[in-house]
Amino acid sequence: MTVSTLPLNDGHQVPWIAFGTGTALFGKDAETAIRLAIDNGFTHLDGAQVYGNEDTLGDGVVASGKPRSELYLTTKLGKLQPGATPKSALQESLKKMKVDYVDLYLIHQASNHVGQLKEIWKGMEEAQRAGLTKSIGVSNFTADNLKTILEVATILPAVNQVEAHPYVWKALQPNLAIHDQYKIVTSSYGGLSPLFRGKGGPLDSVVEQIRARLEKTRGATVSDGQVLNKWLQQKGVLVVTTSSKAERIREYLYTQNVPELTPEEIALIDTTGGKLHQRYFRDNWPSES
């Protein structure tokens, strides 16, 4: 199965869905999970220095036997040690991952670099110019964080990875306006949180209604998760997800084969999601008034 891609503002393409090694795999051996993901069709693998498992992510890639050229690897810059730079930190990550380059390198948290964002962004550009990463971007950046680095950027951030689902979509509008202006791809983690962490919310009945319609149209099973992932995909969002189950991994990938939501269904999810503001990863985002 060929995974469809999204265009980045630097001319590269990114697979629209990624297998994440945070949350459930945080600080754990990721080799088996990575093997499972690759064996079942994932090509985009999303890691981070702070996850503490870049070495076993790399072990999984090696064990899979998949050529490096057929995979898309992301990692993220954590807090810098004294004397380190984004470039030197990435060189350490590459050693752990046993690869010569990553495809995407993100600043994980603006809060790790208070008062230094402009300097850090210049360091990210240096890492890209050195050929250590094809694309650079950010994660958990507010609109204000983005404006700060855009003041000095000679290379635009290609991606901003944030918590994105219908219950925060309204609150993300200032971000999304900047993303649209600079063609920055919105990447989502926690996209299925309304189904798992927010059960009993206003979206439940809407997702069920749309799921039933899609299933009838498709003539095959459609899951609640595919409804929300399809909503994200149709908005041009890069989805980061994870699972330890092969059937769930395939279900996520097969979202691209599910019939499209109608404009009315997308609008219904938007408006229903807007009735409840709920973040499930509060520590990653500045407090909201």
113 is in an annotated binding site: no
Q: DSSP state, 261?
A: P
Q: Which two tokens stand for residue 209?
A: 């209604």
Do residues 45 and 18 touch, judged by C-beta distance below 8 A? yes
Q: Which two tokens stand for residue 103?
A: 């495809």
Q: Using H for helix, E for strand and C for coil, what is the string for 202-236?
A: CHHHHHHHHHHHHHHHHCCCCCHHHHHHHHHHHCC
Phi/psi region, residue 134 (left: phi>0; alpha: psi -120 to 50; beta: rest), is: alpha
| Sole residue written with tokens 């964002």 | 117
Neighbours of 270 (CB within 10 A): 14
Task: Find the catalytic residue in 51, 72, 105, 252.
Answer: 51
End-to-end CA distance of the chain: 45
Q: Which two tokens stand for residue 216?
A: 């009838």
Taking the C-alpha atoms of residue 60 and residue 97, their distance in angstroms, rounded to an integer, is: 9
The answer to whether residue 51 is catalytic is yes
Phi/psi region, residue 54 (left: phi>0; alpha: psi -120 to 50; beta: rest), is: alpha
- Residue 49 has φ and ψ, to the nearest 5°, of -60, -40
| Sole residue written with tokens 């990875």 | 161
Q: What residue numbers does the annotated binding site cover?
A: 108
Q: What residue numbers does the annotated binding site for substrate cover?
A: 108
Question: Active-site residues: which are they?
Answer: 51
